[in-house]
Every structure is written in C-alpha cells, then in structure tokens.
Copies of this chain bind each other. A is one copy, B any other.
C-alpha cells in the first residue's frame, strides 16, 4: 500500500525515511540510484514528472515533495504523531520545515552538487552527458547539472551557500538553547528535516558545528544519532 521511492538516507530521501521509521510504517522501499540517473528514467518520470526523489505511492495516488509526504503520512497514520499537539506548535514546526526547504537545504545542496556531480559524470563522454541531460525534465535541473559538471558554480555563490549553512546552525543553536526540540517540547518533523542537513555538518564544516560553538545543537545531534529510527534509516545505505 505504501511504495516509497528514495535514494540514500541523505537530504530529502532521508527526510521521508526518518519519518517512516519513526512512525514504524510498513512500506516497500524502491531505491532510485541517482548515480545511475534512474530518477530520469521513463519509469520513474511516469511516477514523478519532475524526475526527483523522493516520491510516495499510496493506494495508487502519487504524493511528491518530502515535506508534503511527511505531513501526509502523519495525517493518514496518526499513531506516533510527529507534529506538536497545538496549532501554535505546528506553526512553529512549519516555519522550520519551510526554512529547511527554502534556505538551509538549497545551500547544502549547492555545495553537495559541486563536490559530487563531477564524480557522477566522470565516466560519461560528452555525447553521453548530453544524452543524459535530454532526459532531465526540469530546465532548472538541466542548468544545475551543466554548471556542476563543469565545476562552474560562481565562487561567490558557493561562499554564500557556506555562509548560509553557518547562519542555519546559528538559528538552530538559538532555538535549542530555549527548547529541547526545534518546535518546542515535542520531537517533530522539524527535527527530522534539520537532521537531514546537519548529520554530516561536523564532518564537512566542523567550524560551524562543534561542542564549543554550538553546544545545544551538538547535544541535540547526539540525541538524534541515538534514536533507533535514525539508526534504522542510516542502515538502509547501500554506499
């Protein structure tokens, strides 16, 4: 009944996997290998015309966008809720999930593309790369592939993305100095969304996330890493 199309437990794919694991949902996992461009295959584009992961198929209906998927499954399967039980708490949670989607995630994503895409495309000839690009449904994504493959993101854009990762952690730190979880006293989809982007921050940007400069976020991250659902999602990695 629940078919989840996802990549590795990172970024937006991790966002849905964490939610599904926290809620102990039974689902069929469909691994979409972004390193083999499976997200642009006709079979997958028939499910999500944007050619992006994740996507959920529930009772024959397709739901896209990781943030929307998580709100959806939390409504349809209300056991083990992942939203605060007040409207105010839910509003605070949604400010966070929105901040992740509009600010934090694009910054991490840009730097990720800059470092990863060159390896993904290095085995392709120029003609093969152009053939691959033709199958990318969204114009914006085609532009991003071309820039990333050519290592051509403007340096000031990469610097700005890095700055935004820093301000994102600062914002988390301020909140986590006041409340146990990001939306208040309740563990929620806000924590799940932020974790997908901060899990690897100590490795890639230790200057932004360490015990000294962001002690509350450091403690929160340790608590997140101990959650059985987080461990279960990370155990789904194939790389």
Contact = CB atoms under 8 A, between A and B. Distances in A.
A210 interface: no
A3 interface: no
B90 A75 contact: yes
B72 A95 contact: no
Given A63-B88, A90-B75, A98 B95 contact: no
Contacts of A87: 72, 75-76
A174 to B, nearest CB: 10
A167 B140 CA distance: 11
A22 to B, nearest CB: 18
A34 interface: no
Chain multiplicity (copies): 2
Interface string A62-80: 0111011101100110000
Contacts of A102: 101-102
Contacts of A75: 87, 90
Contacts of A95: 64-65, 68
A91 B67 contact: no
Nearest to A87: B75
A68 B183 CA distance: 13
Nearest to A59: B88
B61 A88 contact: yes
Interface in A83-100: 87-88, 90-91, 94-95, 98
Query: Considering the complex of A and B, which 6 residue pairs feature the smallest CB-CB distances, nearest first?
Result: A75-B87, A72-B91, A68-B94, A76-B87, A63-B91, A68-B91
A61 B90 CA distance: 13
Given A71-B91, A101-B102, A139-B167, 19 more contacts: A61-B88, A63-B88, A63-B91, A65-B94, A65-B95, A65-B98, A67-B98, A68-B94, A68-B95, A69-B91, A71-B90, A71-B94, A72-B87, A72-B88, A72-B90, A72-B91, A76-B87, A98-B101, A102-B102
Contacts of A68: 91, 94-95, 98
Nearest to A102: B102
Contacts of A64: 95
A75 B86 CA distance: 9
Contacts of A72: 87-88, 90-91
A139 B163 CA distance: 10
A83 to B, nearest CB: 11
